[in-house]
Amino acid sequence: MPEAAPWEYSLYIPADPRAVTVCRRTLRLILTLHGLAHLVDTAELLASELMSNAVLHTKGPACLRLRHRDGVLQIGAWDADPEPPDPPRRLEELADAERGRGMGLVRACSDLWHWQPLSRMGHRGKLVWCELSVA
């Protein structure tokens, strides 16, 4: 079967907690329409954690980015805060923690995660992203 053509979607959102729900529902629709419904539950969890952090830790705009290329789905959250995220801890270390569970879930449920400085819309910021194998 031939490899699917690469694609990318970006959804810019305001710094509003309700926008995370918009991101989840949009992600679900995009993945279903591209024949990746088998990834929806995990991708939705990952996007929710990344976008919740983006909305929680910045006063400016945020963006959900979905990219599919070479059998890999990349889920990214851009926000206008240039500070790097706290490194994720192992889930076993988070049982009684009040913070840090989100990135721990991202680490545990994705194949790879990382962050990079990235400016958008005239704002210095960062992109925190993770990857899931499509296979």
**24-32 contacts at long range (C-beta below 8 A, 24 or more positions apart):** 24/48, 24/51, 26/64, 27/64, 27/66, 27/75, 30/66, 31/66, 31/73
Please tell me the predicted confidence (pLDDT) of residue 11: 96
Rg of the chain in Å (alpha carbons): 14
Confidence of residue 97 (pLDDT cuts 50, 70, 90): low
Percentage of the chain exceeding pLDDT 70: 87
- The residues, any chain, with a CB within 8 Å of residue 50's CB and separated by 6 or more, are 64, 75, 76, 77, 102, 106, 128, 129, 130
Look up residue 65 and give its amino acid: R
- The residues, any chain, with a CB within 8 Å of residue 51's CB and separated by 6 or more, are 13, 19, 20, 23, 24, 62, 64, 77
Please tell me the predicted confidence (pLDDT) of residue 61: 86
pLDDT at 56 over 70: yes
More confident residue, 89 or 78: 78
Whole-number Å distance between alpha carbons of 53 and 70: 28
116 phi, psi to nearest 5 deg? -155, 150
| pTM of the predicted protein model | 0.88
Look up residue 12 and give its amino acid: Y
